[in-house]
Amino acid sequence: MILHDRIAEILPAWRDRVNHLVTEHRDFKVCDVTVSQIYQGIRGVQIQVTDISYVDPYEGLRLRGYTIPEVLEKLPRLPGCEFPMAGGLYYLLMTDSLPSYEEALEVEDEWKKYAVIPQYVIDMIHTMPRNTHPMTLFSQGIMALGVDSIFSRQYLNGLAKSDYWIPTLDDSIRLTAKLPALAAVIYNWKYRDGSVIAPNPDLDWSGNFAYMIENPNNHEYEELCRLFFLLHSDHEGANVSAHTAHLVNSALSDVYLASSAAMNGLAGPLHGLANQECLRWLLKVYNSFESLPSKEEMADFARAELKSGRVIPGYGHAVLRTTDPRFTAQYEFAKKYLPDDELYQLVCRIYEVLPGILKETGKVKNPYPNVDAINGTLQYHYGVREFDFYTVLFGVSRILGITAHAVWARALNKPIERPKSLTTAILEERVAGK
């Protein structure tokens, strides 16, 4: 397949670069670790190298070196579409180069071969209690798909280490191919009549999700899916979900196991679940006022929230120190397609006021919005109002990045990840100079 061919072509040069660093500069010190970093979530400690994406604190995400506006401009799109095909994005993430239109289509066509969800996975989901969180179902579904892992089978048959990346890529294509349909099975069972709608071969990967949940606003919602799935695909290697996947996959657990584990991290309210929490909070604000609050009213409301010890979802970030460009891209979408939407206008009002209020606290390091501050608003506008589902959409997209990291970790022979922990007594002795 085209991704295999391209990776095989560029891999020797990448292996040379890594070998050179490891052999010629093995003792070069990359960073120090302080006591406060150890106790504060290993924040800022540079523990990994990955080339799939990078987050600059002041500029935000670059996917394979390209900013979000560049990716949106340069990736190929289908005729009549404003936003690019996810197939082209996957080509970029996997191969480090921008695809031609034909190359993006080839990935889309490969996905179409594997897009259908096996009946046993549907049955498993349909037997779960109705109140199961959609992220639990999503994680379970991914695990269940793993019975067919090509990597795990070939590993048992003695596959050479230098070839681990090949079945990892095979698994990655088969898993990512099924994600829109898996998400749609979950959505239709949780919130609709449980119908299983087969993917439409005439649509792309992203557009198919809109089709399979029978979204009535089809064309605009398809466009939103293309944008949303692009924006959430990766955020370098050390966020909770990507790092979890990397750790699990480093034990040579296959990409199904690693992606499922990642989704369990994404399901946390400080990470991906923040988009669900964000919309809940936005509706709470909306319902507290009869019309759009004034700046003063909004500021008073936000101060009261902070005073009661709550975090304001959608604001702040562990790495970013500016407005998240993924927020900005969706903000632009809303400005164009839903300028009169009252929740969007509330998002704008909050954006005017909240950074100043968060700065007043003196402790929030990034007072600006992250991606979650707006994405639920757009879904809500297009009728996807079941906000506990939003993190599944984030997950569908994020596994594109996670699997690209996994293929390259295997291609570059990264070993099992196993740092070191200390005891409090050891640390006390060290700081005392003993």
Q: Which residues are catalytic?
A: 271, 317, 372
Among 3, 224, 347, 364, contact with ligand NMX (rule: CB under 6 A): 364
Site for ligand NMX in 47-106 (CB under 6 A): none
Shortest reach from residue 268's CB to ligand MLT, in Å: 10
For residue 62, the surrounding DSSP H or E stretch is: strand 60-63
Exactly one of 63, 177, 318, 412 binds ligand MLT (CB under 6 A); that residue is 318
Binding mask 309-348 for ligand NMX (x = CB under 6 A): --xxxxxxxx------------------------------
Q: Which is nearer to ligand MLT, 154 or 370 (CB)?
A: 370
Tally of CA atoms within 13 A in the half-sphere of 245 that contains its CB:
34
Q: Is 235 in the site for ligand MLT (CB under 6 A)?
A: yes
Distances (CA, A) of 250 to 264, 395, 421: 17, 20, 18
Among 72, 347, 371, 411, binds ligand NMX (CB under 6 A): 371
Q: Which helix or strand (DSSP H or E) is residue 60 part of?
A: strand 60-63
Cα gap 427→34, rounded to integer Å: 11
Using rule CB under 6 A, residue 370 touches ligand MLT: yes
Instruction: Compare residues 213 and 245 and give the one whose CB is closer to ligand MLT.
Output: 245
- Which listed option, ligand NMX, ligand MLT, none, makes contact with residue 175 (CB within 5 to 8 Å by class)? none
User: Which is closer to ligand MLT, CB of 108 or CB of 372?
Assistant: 372
Long-range contacts of 75-82 (CB under 8 A, 24+ apart): 75/99, 75/104, 75/230, 76/100, 76/101, 76/104, 76/105, 77/226, 78/204, 81/222, 81/223, 81/226, 82/223, 82/226
57: Cβ–Cβ under 8 A, 6 or more apart, which residues?
319, 320, 321, 322
| Site residues (CB under 6 A) for ligand NMX, limited to 264-293 | 270-272, 274
Check binding of 105 to ligand MLT (CB under 6 A). Answer: no
Q: Which of 411, 399, 404 is nearest to 261 (CA)?
A: 399
239 in contact with ligand MLT (CB under 6 A): yes
Residues of this chain that interact with ligand NMX (CB under 6 A) are 270-272, 274, 306, 311-318, 363-366, 370-372
